[in-house]
Structure 1
């Protein structure tokens, strides 16, 4: 049997701010939380995918200072180009937009980038061959 990717864990500086960011921007929900007195751990997931893939945030991290030319990121697909634009407008108003909406050739599609409270870049895309919009993506 091949390994199966089940989660990504990030050690973040401000756990509460990051949980709120991923709730608001990515529609993730808390599915588990624990506090041992020294650190907190929160599991987040997309509704309906709680047993397939979990996003784990751990408290007490150093924070990130990701360079603007470092394109490492988390990627979330959205339902439409308009959704990318809405997220970008909200992020611009909140001062966390890193990459304004932009169209790239297949397989990249239409996307924007937002910086989470810990400094991690998060991409929101439409038209990639993954997630929403995959059926309409051109090859």
Structure 2
């Protein structure tokens, strides 16, 4: 049997702020919520992907203080460069843009980065061999 990646679990200092961030910027939604160990546990996913990959978010974590050149991140694919620019503008206005849009050689593509309320970095990209339209792109 081969394992399948199904979820990522995070402890965060402000659960509600993280829920709002992932709803607003990533289009995810809460589809399950329960009490657990004296707190709330929330399951979030992109609509239609509730059975393939989710974020499990729980209160109690500490704010992450990543360096500007730390590229640890969650990656979301977008369907155009304009969509990357739009997310970057929205994030800049919200004060959470950390990497302005930039273009890198294949397979990195065009991307920007945001900081979520827990300090995690979140990348939004176009032109990687993952996500919308990637079926037509070869992976070397």
Give the alignment's TM-score, normalised by structure 1: 0.94
Contact 1:32 1:44 in 2 (8 A): yes
Looking at structure 1, the residues matched to 37 and 47 of structure 2 have their Cα atoms a distance apart, in angstroms, of 28
Structure 1 residue 34 displacement after superposition: 1.0
Q: Tell me the equivalent position of 1:134.
A: 134
Whether 2:24 is the aligned partner of 1:32: answer no
Whether 2:46 is the aligned partner of 1:42: answer no
Runs of 5+ consecutive residues of structure 1 not aligned to the other structure = none
Q: Tell me the equivalent position of 1:79.
A: 79
RMSD of equivalent CA atoms: 1.4
Looking at structure 1, the residues matched to 66 and 108 of structure 2 have their Cα atoms a distance apart, in angstroms, of 21
Q: Tell me the equivalent position of 2:103.
A: 103
Q: Number of paired residues?
A: 139
Looking at structure 2, the residues matched to 66 and 51 of structure 1 have their Cα atoms a distance apart, in angstroms, of 31
The DSSP-based 3-state class of the residue aligned with 2:10 is strand
Runs of 4+ in 1 over 6 A off after TM superposition: none
Contact 1:75 1:124 in 2 (8 A): yes
Runs of 5+ consecutive residues of structure 2 not aligned to the other structure = none
Structure 1 residue 133 displacement after superposition: 3.5
Q: Tell me the equivalent position of 2:18.
A: 18
The DSSP-based 3-state class of the residue aligned with 2:113 is strand
Looking at structure 2, the residues matched to 110 and 46 of structure 1 have their Cα atoms a distance apart, in angstroms, of 22
